[in-house]
Structure 1
Amino acid sequence: MKNWQEDILNLINGGQDANECFAELAESARALGFEYCAYGLRVSYPLFNRQATLLNNYPETWQNMYRERDYVLQDPTVRYGQSSTQAMVWSDEMFANSPELWSEAQSFGLRFGWAKSCIERNGIFGILTLARSAELLTEAELQHKSSQMNWLAQAAHLNMSRHIMPTLTNGPNSPITPREAEALKWIGDGKTSAEIGLILSISEHTVNFHIKNAITKLNVTNRTAAVVMAVVMGLL
């Protein structure tokens, strides 16, 4: 991969939408020796029915099977990536508890793979997977290409999340103010509006005003949901 740092930096700012960005990402993956590429992103809110999206160039039949059988729920690379940002290499041991998934994936040419996730403080989780049908990923190759692959994972997350996030959540209309955040913190500690007013030396009416504003900005329906949303988004 010639001038790979520049190529990857260009990837960060490239693409007019998620599909164009993914096309550039797949091209970078091919330059690194991988015929297949996938990027998935999931947000941590709402707590139920969390929104996610996945772009890949896997065989269409495998894409449909993976979706219809909910393989994402047993995919060990997804489970691992949710808790660690260390790169992982596919292996029989990794898929030991998901033999059907592993067998089906291999039958579609997804035999050798590498993946790395990016986890943000607000719970946004993205994972890049590079895969191919032939040639084992050797330790020598991993050492030679690790910098490019890690850079690519970071660049992919920066650009793909920029395009995908607006489609997954309506998010807050604007950041909450320090006073609104303070009120939500005390709500999280179980304080009433009257108690918060005494703590902050403001009226109960003013406390409720700040809480109402936070609820509106966070696009939730009550104060409890506002606290949860603010926490998972890293605002508290």
Structure 2
Amino acid sequence: MKVWKESQLTQLSCAQKIETAYEISLNLVKNMGFNFCAFSITSPTTGTHRHKIILNNYPSEWNTKYQNEHYDTVDPILAHCCGSEVPILWQEECYSKTPRLWQAQKNQGLHYGWSQSVHDKNGLCSILSVARTHCPITAYELYKNLGYAMFINRHLHGIIAKDLPASSLKPPTTSLSCREIEVLKYSAVGKTACEIAIILCVSESTVRFHIKNAIHKLGVNNKIAAVIRAAKAGVI
């Protein structure tokens, strides 16, 4: 086991093309006991010049459904990763507000997995996810493989980042207030309006007011979409 890991990590560290690096990463992930590997990276720019790269071996039916159903606007895992670099396990409670997404995901064989992200000073956010159809992920397994996943994520992130033009890496300005940004940051890590109110020593209605304003300013329809938009814009 140690030999193939060292060999594949060496190959990955030498790979400078994203397609080659992803294929090596996919093989490494499969040897770690997972069927699926997904990597995505989004630049903070808006409009027609936004850079977004998605690489995965998910079922094509799932990729199409995810896009057509606009699941990216309600995906709690995506929202968490856009606001935090702390790894997150795919668990049913994470999808308590989006049970339809959770069921659709499982129907495609994406039962057990985890995701983690990398954020850099230019506002780039990349997300690596590994998943499989059978066997829950134990705390020990997560701990054992976390370092490899972090290496994969950072290497793929670095390959993309160095090839993006400097102009596309400049985070856009935003009209969000400091308090609105603060509320979105806590929302990104799963805090409820009630919990945020306690942390900030304000009323729950005040927290909801800030969330509503942020949603309006960012031009989205709900809190999760606001978190994702703010994170992609490099605001949080």
Is TM-score (shorter-chain normalized) higher than 0.5? Answer: yes
Q: What letter is aligned with 1:78? A: L
SS at match of 1:172: helix
Cα shift at 1:84: 0.6
Whole-angstrom distance in 1 between the partners of 2:20 and 2:29? 14
Aligned position for 1:113: 113
Whole-angstrom distance in 2 between the partners of 1:39 and 1:7? 18
| 1:13 is aligned to 2:14 | yes
Q: What letter is aligned with 1:29? A: V
Whole-angstrom distance in 2 between the partners of 1:23 and 1:2? 20
Aligned position for 1:84: 84
The Cα RMSD (Å) is: 2.8
CA contact (8 A) 1:5 1:148 kept: no
| 1:94 is aligned to 2:94 | yes
Larger Rg: 1
Q: Name structure 1 gaps, 5 residues minimum.
A: 174-231
Q: 1:172 aligns with which of 164, 167, 174?
A: 167
Cα shift at 1:13: 2.8
Whole-angstrom distance in 1 between the partners of 2:46 and 2:86? 26
CA contact (8 A) 2:39 2:153 kept: no
Identity over aligned pairs, percent: 23
Cα shift at 1:48: 8.1
Q: What letter is aligned with 2:81? A: G
Structure 1 pair 6/159, CA: closer, same or farther in 2 (3 Å)? farther
| Higher mean displacement: 24-33 or 147-156 | 147-156
Larger % of helix: which?
2
Whole-angstrom distance in 2 between the partners of 1:56 and 1:74? 20
How many corresponding residue pairs?
172
Structure 1 pair 142/29, CA: closer, same or farther in 2 (3 Å)? same
SS at match of 1:121: coil
Q: Name structure 2 gaps, 5 residues minimum.
A: 169-232
Cα shift at 1:94: 0.9
Give the 4+ runs in structure 1 shifted more than 4 A.
none
Cα shift at 1:171: 3.7
Aligned position for 1:205: none
Aligned position for 1:212: none
